Structure 1
Amino acid sequence: MQNPSVDEQPLLVERDENVAASEAKRLLRLAGPLVASGLLQCALQLVSVMFVGHLGELHLAGASLATSLANVTGFSLLAGMASALDTLCGQAFGARQYHLLGVYKQRAMLVLALACVPIALVWTNTTRILLFLGQDRAIAAEAGAYARWLIPSLVPYVPLTCHIRFLPVMASSAVTSLSHVLVCWALVHKAGMGSKGAALARAISYCTNLSILSMYTRLSGACKRTWKGFSMEAFKELRQFAELAFPSAMMVCLEWWSFELLALLSGLLPNPKLETSVLSICFNTGALMFMVPSGLCTAISTRVSNELGAGRPQAAKLATRLVVCLALLEGSVISVTMILLRRFWGYVYSNEEEVVAYIARMIPVLAMSFFMNGIHTSLAGVLTGCGEQKIGARVNLVAFYLAGIPLAVLLAFALHFNGMARTSSVPKFKSF
């Protein structure tokens, strides 16, 4: 987070160009490491899916459905609740109340830990849930086994998702991502655990990342002002934190859930193994590309909350205008790049020619989502910095559930576009 200077000059008309350039550099300095660390963290899920994908179509379909259910009922909820820290800590930092950052982090970990109890119960019953939703029996059984082996990952994920809101995680994420490849290989192939080993590998890698960040917090002088050790103050005002965490979670989850719901619906299409596998690969690709606008989202959230906390709303407005321009640029670059790579991208996940060809047809449509997602995510970061997550939740509810998903169902089941419907419908509405 930026440390606002006490004697910072007001924004003057004659200095607009210099101020804009300075703000753009500040945003890029914040977003750059966040994008890199986000890509590295996302690699954990992608590497696990890649290892499973080369075991066969059934394993890939099962792991894909389990990952979708785990994201819907667990990871998205926890990450969304933790995003309340962006508002609280950003404004506390802007107001120079540095000690509150450590207190807020502990408070968040307590609330998130409580939420893990029902999450673990849901994951334990994944097979029953998927069968109730009409999924193929073989795929549901494979997904249930994968989800049960994901439960240990909740233990390190709760403190980790709170730590990454504050700390420079690029180096730790790089170490974790590299080691994750070795852990996956050892568990999936060497230990003969198959897809279950890929699920367990995520827990081990989360522990590795958390251990590195915990050592950094304890040994680095950079955290002395913000981390004063464990405090009983963290047990106070839990309700107030939960009241902000809930709309924060809804703002994140309503978007995330819509894509995972589409993955579940793909299991109801003809040839569910193919449809589920391909759609999962597309969404995993989307998750990887999402890390770029996600970095901009966190950067603008930090800048807006810092400036509002310091009483400088005009500086926050300037940062907002600049981040939209940056979002348009990155969206264009990512979309064009993926279209150029569309014929080769499928081989990263599967050796099946049918899967690779299907992915090549899907990516141009998916590119629309990459472009629009940059604008949507950046503006969501502005709302988070302002503490207006309720507005974002309402917008996502309308865009995804009253427009995008009904259109996807119509295109897929009534007009027989199949998986193409799912990547073409939601992007049309998400930037509204």
Structure 2
Amino acid sequence: MMVGHLDELSLSGVFVAFSFTIVTGYSLICGMAGALGTLCGQAYGAEQYKKLGIYTYAAIISLILVCIPISILWMVTDKLLILIGQDPTISHIAHKYCICLVPNLFAYAILQPLVRYYQTQSLILPLLFSSFAALCFHIPFCWTLVFKLKLGSSAAALASASSYLLDDVFFSMREFFRFAVPSAGMVCLEWWSFEGLILLSGLLPNPELETSVLSLCTRVSNELGAGNAQAAKMTVKAIMVLVVAEMVFLAMILFFCHLVLGYAFSSKKEIVDRIADMGPLLCLSIIMDGLQAVLSGVARGSGWQDIGAYVNLGAYYLVGVPVGVVLAFVVHLKGKGLWI
């Protein structure tokens, strides 16, 4: 949101970088950490409390090792983006942003196993207080770096890394990876499809506008639709009712605010108008994404990550992305076609 008020070019570069880092890093780390939902959840249910710590330490060490090749890949972001046809100026800004996000990646790899460690024991308040403290730190810190010290878009990445570090407070690796790989596949296949659409939007005419608008819609949808569910049959129906109510409520707020939502991210009227035009589609996406998040949580808790990976492969890559490409480039609906 803060970078968007610098200029349109910075906004496009940061969102392309964010999509690139999600595809190559964050989705992989988050997906692999999902293995702890199975391992720690079942260990806690069986009262094997010692295993909770063992699995968590193993996950942290494993994910830190995974971060090393990812961070090397981020060092050549500009070359890879230009290779796939992205605008060189946008790619250069994305490259600087990715480099500044490297510390954030390692902090994220430590944080995600700790989050699963607490979640599987239903210890939600520590997560809430920790996240709230990090948020209270992040907003003024990011504002200071971006606007007061005038460090530009890269400052947002540095602020993000600092916030994750604040939020962070070789045994069993084989079993961890046994669940981590399909878990990563399940999460990555979903996330990659959305971020792939953003990269595709960079190939459309006026890529700065299309990338900015589509990226903003993706961020809003992901944040409002994200969630996890306990793998217990008795609670699934109740959770579904609660999630539907919550998502409908959020969608209604978003619908009534969609004409002015864009001003939170940019003062450019063209971007604001395009986001307003995407508002109804975004509301529908939030409701469906909430239901999907619950069912994904059930799959992770039950150790069904391999099934979830196949489902996401079919839904997003055999149907979603091909339809989006046709609507955007053949029917010429551009960014709206990709989002549909």
TM-score calculated relative to the size of structure 2: 0.95
Tell me the equivalent position of 1:428: none
Establish whether residue 338 from structure 1 lines up as the match of residue 254 from structure 2. yes
Pairwise mapping of residues 60-99 of structure 1 onto structure 2 (< 5 A)? 60-99=11-50
| Counterpart selection for 1:208 from 162, 166, 178 | 166
* 1:331, distance to aligned residue in structure 2 (A): 2.5
* 1:156, distance to aligned residue in structure 2 (A): 1.6
Instruction: Provide the rounded CA distance (Å) in 1 between the counterparts of 2:38 and 2:152.
Output: 41
Tell me the equivalent position of 1:13: none
| Counterpart selection for 1:401 from 290, 312, 317 | 317
Establish whether residue 264 from structure 1 lines up as the match of residue 199 from structure 2. yes
Instruction: Provide the rounded CA distance (Å) in 1 between the counterparts of 2:131 and 2:245.
Output: 26
Corresponding letter in the other structure for 2:14: A
* 1:326, distance to aligned residue in structure 2 (A): 2.2
Q: Is the 8 A contact 2:197 2:338 kept in 1?
A: yes
Tell me the equivalent position of 1:133: 84
Instruction: Please report the RMSD computed on the Cα atoms of aligned residues, expressed in angstroms.
Output: 1.2
Q: Is the 8 A contact 2:54 2:172 kept in 1?
A: no
Q: Is the 8 A contact 2:225 2:287 kept in 1?
A: no
* 1:405, distance to aligned residue in structure 2 (A): 0.3
Instruction: Provide the rounded CA distance (Å) in 1 between the counterparts of 2:104 and 2:264.
Output: 25
Establish whether residue 185 from structure 1 lines up as the match of residue 143 from structure 2. yes
* 1:163, distance to aligned residue in structure 2 (A): 1.2
* 1:414, distance to aligned residue in structure 2 (A): 0.2
Q: Is the 8 A contact 2:56 2:117 kept in 1?
A: no
Cα deviation code 1:35-78 (max 9, x no counterpart):
xxxxxxxxxxxxxxx11111100000000000000011011110
Tell me the equivalent position of 2:121: none
- Matched residue of 1:203: which SS? helix
Which structure is larger by alpha-carbon Rg, 1 or 2? Answer: 1
- Matched residue of 1:169: which SS? helix
Establish whether residue 108 from structure 1 lines up as the match of residue 59 from structure 2. yes
Instruction: Provide the rounded CA distance (Å) in 1 between the counterparts of 2:146 and 2:182.
Output: 38
* 1:179, distance to aligned residue in structure 2 (A): 1.1
Cα deviation code 1:216-265 (max 9, x no counterpart):
xxxxxxxxxxxxxxxxxxx1331221111010111111111100000000
Q: Is the 8 A contact 2:54 2:171 kept in 1?
A: no
Instruction: Provide the rounded CA distance (Å) in 1 between the counterparts of 2:9 and 2:220.
Output: 20
Instruction: Provide the rounded CA distance (Å) in 2 between the counterparts of 1:82 and 1:319.
Output: 23
Corresponding letter in the other structure for 1:273: E
Corresponding letter in the other structure for 2:280: P
| Counterpart selection for 1:251 from 181, 186, 190 | 186
Instruction: Provide the rounded CA distance (Å) in 2 between the counterparts of 1:129 and 1:406.
Output: 23
Establish whether residue 354 from structure 1 lines up as the match of residue 289 from structure 2. no
- Matched residue of 1:193: which SS? coil
Instruction: Provide the rounded CA distance (Å) in 1 between the counterparts of 2:172 and 2:281.
Output: 46
| Counterpart selection for 1:236 from 151, 165, 171 | 171
Instruction: Provide the rounded CA distance (Å) in 1 between the counterparts of 2:318 and 2:251.
Output: 26
Instruction: Provide the rounded CA distance (Å) in 1 between the counterparts of 2:89 and 2:34.
Output: 36
Instruction: Provide the rounded CA distance (Å) in 2 between the counterparts of 1:394 and 1:117.
Output: 28
Instruction: Provide the rounded CA distance (Å) in 2 between the counterparts of 1:369 and 1:192.
Output: 36
| Counterpart selection for 1:390 from 291, 306, 314 | 306
TM-score calculated relative to the size of structure 1: 0.75
Corresponding letter in the other structure for 1:341: C
| Counterpart selection for 2:156 from 188, 198, 201 | 198
- Matched residue of 1:165: which SS? helix
Establish whether residue 274 from structure 1 lines up as the match of residue 274 from structure 2. no
Structure 1: 5+ residue runs without aligned partners? 1-49, 215-234, 305-315, 425-432
Tell me the equivalent position of 2:297: 381
Q: Is the 8 A contact 2:189 2:313 kept in 1?
A: yes
Instruction: Provide the rounded CA distance (Å) in 2 between the counterparts of 1:282 and 1:347.
Output: 13
Corresponding letter in the other structure for 2:244: L
Establish whether residue 156 from structure 1 lines up as the match of residue 107 from structure 2. yes
- Matched residue of 1:166: which SS? helix
Identity %: 44
* 1:196, distance to aligned residue in structure 2 (A): 1.0
Corresponding letter in the other structure for 2:182: P
* 1:321, distance to aligned residue in structure 2 (A): 2.3
Corresponding letter in the other structure for 2:26: F
* 1:329, distance to aligned residue in structure 2 (A): 2.0
Cα deviation code 1:292-340 (max 9, x no counterpart):
xx0xx2xx33xx2xxxxxxxxxxx3222222222232223222222111
Establish whether residue 322 from structure 1 lines up as the match of residue 238 from structure 2. yes
Instruction: Provide the rounded CA distance (Å) in 2 between the counterparts of 1:364 and 1:111.
Output: 41
How many residues matched? Answer: 333
Q: Is the 8 A contact 2:55 2:172 kept in 1?
A: no
Q: Is the 8 A contact 2:225 2:247 kept in 1?
A: no
